[in-house]
Amino acid sequence: MRSCPLRLSILLFFTVFAAGVTQAGAATRESRPNILWLSVEDMSPWIGPYGDTTVPTPNLDRLAREGVVYDNAFATSPVCAPARSSLITGMFCTRIGTMQMRNGKPSSSAVAKDPEAYKDIPGYEGLPPAFVRCFPEHLRAAGYYCTNASKKDYQFKEPVTVWDESSSKAHWKNRGDGQPFFAVFNYSGTHESQGFPKAKQRPQVVAPEDVPLPPFYPDTAHVRDAVARTYNNIAEMDGWVGKKLDELERAGLTESTVVIFFSDHGVGLPRGKRSCFDTGTRVPLIVQYPNGQDAGRRNSRVVSFIDFGPATLSLAGIEPDPRLDGTPFLGRFASERADYRRGHAYANADRFDSVYDRSRTVSDGRFRYTKNFVTNLPYLIRNAYREQLPMTAELYALEEAGPQTPSQWQLAATERPAEEFYDSEADPWEVTNLIDAPEHQERIAALRQHLDAWIADTGDLGFVLPETKLVREIIWPPEGKQPATPAAEIEETVSERNGGTTFQVSLSCPEPGASIGYRLSTKKHYKGPWQVYTKPFEVPGTQRFIEVQTHRIGHQPTTTGAFLGRE
């Protein structure tokens, strides 16, 4: 037997993550259910389980009968990319620098309308604290097969260690024998764009003349058409849910899978998406457990997107890092916070395309308090993408024509009040601002205090403007240039026994926040999924080539390779 150490760069063993994942792996051996996320885009709870029967939703109705309906679930932002950054990290987007929509790529619609729109807006990635991982990485380290089909939109490039596969073809069916899975399927047929005139027309389940209109909309043909399309898209989405549930049943996995259905924020219509009201932030959430656990129940706990990742880890028997903003509401580690987050959901509205908003809001499930830090804007800020909906021009026109009804005051306003307060139970469309109501002053003061505590605790990066300052001082100091993650160090020990060669391989990176992924090959040609590195591992002598990628979220990844056994 002989031993030959090989060092390719500075050695700093990556102990924190490895120890955490080892502990997680031990925990998950006790309870390893499959976990299926059914995520749909741009949809408020306008479905049967929440009392809206405008179109039939038999599959969601069945899911609700066999599962738990959460009445107070909220996105952290009323637009997809910031909200999804919270879903994948368990962190508030205002804490990790992902609050500005499309911080890494300009909106093509905005640029087409104004080529100079992004002249002073830099491209960058969010930067979570070093302890933060995209939560599926922890699941993979514990033995789960993790797939995403296929939207990401995290406001940063995710490490290669996050998914076994992320593509339109990714599916839990491709896992190993007996391997538990975490699978995400995303439905885009309810997205805002599906109401554009050029979008595919789904079968008409409800006619425009028969749809209920929110009271803040004028009753016009364009408005009715947009609302009818929204409902018809929901009806088709329900069929998609049915197909995903049928797949589980045919595979005999219903009794071993937790199904979680939700949308990525509120309805994709004006004054829904991009707006800090229930219509923008309140989402449907239904959780179906195996064996009919808690079937048919409703849960009033206030749940936020920051909680979804920790809850999924908890279902898999993995204790989430207590430093995360989110709290697990499912699984063996379910708990409640003792601070300002308990019983409250927070959300932010910042830059949409190239136009800046800056609103902060908190809801306790019934009452909503909002602080508008920019008051000299209409509620519907100008947005080139949304303007592809014909109804948008009619809503803009209300600013000059004035409201046709009292409920349209927000859409007709050219300025906003500094503070707003709504009772969403008595006033579900949130059109009656009770900020000066004497009977609510104590409650308003309490919610104001909660909101201020959230802003202070998160160090709200939405207030670091211009964004060039954010990038230079917070994200990529001091020059605003994206740093590269340091290269991996690969250390090996070569052993020969029984006529064969094996390699004991250790990987490390001097960047504390770096994920480490690796691939092996018999030839210098790598393909297939990257593996998550957690601890030293043994490699057969036939696999002489190793490729390693290190990646701190927000930094550039670095890929290195080695020929094992080289003297």
Active site residues: 80
H/E element holding 552?
strand 545-552
CB of 451 within 8 A of CB of 367? no
Check: CB of residue 77 under 8 Å from CB of residue 272: no
Sheet of 514-521, strands arranged across: 531-532, 514-521, 545-552, 558-563
Task: Name the token pair of 442.
Answer: 């104590």
Whole-angstrom distance between the N-terminal and C-terminal Cα of the chain? 15
- Say how far apart CA 286 and CA 71 lie, in whole Å: 9
- How far apart (Å, rounded) are the C-alpha atoms in residues 567 and 549? 23
Contact 8, 490 (CB under 8 A): yes
Q: Are 232 and 192 in contact (CB under 8 A)?
A: no
How many Cβ atoms from other residues are within 10 Å of residue 69's Cβ?
Answer: 21
The span from the CA of 309 to the CA of 88, in Å, is 6
Residues 6+ away with beta carbon under 8 Å from 200 = 194
Phi-psi region of 132 (alpha: psi -120 to 50; beta: other; left: phi over 0): beta
Are 273 and 77 in contact by the 8 Å Cβ rule? The answer is no
Beta strand 297-304 with 68-74 is parallel
The bridge status of strand 34-40 relative to strand 257-263 is parallel
Do the bridges between strand 500-508 and strand 489-497 make them parallel or antiparallel, or are there none, so unpaired? antiparallel
| Cα of 9 vs its chain's centroid, Å | 36
Find out whether the peptide bond into 466 is cis, omega within 30 degrees of 0. Answer: yes
* Phi/psi at 419 (5° precision): -135, 150
- Helix segments in 97-207, DSSP class H: 108-113, 136-141
Determine the Cα angle at 307 with ends 304 and 312, to 5°: 135
Q: What is the DSSP string of 38-103?
A: EEESS--S-SGGGT--SS--HHHHHHHHHSEEEEEEE-SSSSHHHHHHHHHHSS-HHHHT--STTT
Distance CA 492, CA 347 (A): 48
Tell me the C-alpha distance between 73 and 47, whole Å: 14
Closest CA to 553 of 94, 125, 82: 125
- Could you count the other beta carbons within 10 Å of the beta carbon of residue 26? 12
For 303, the 3-state DSSP assignment is strand
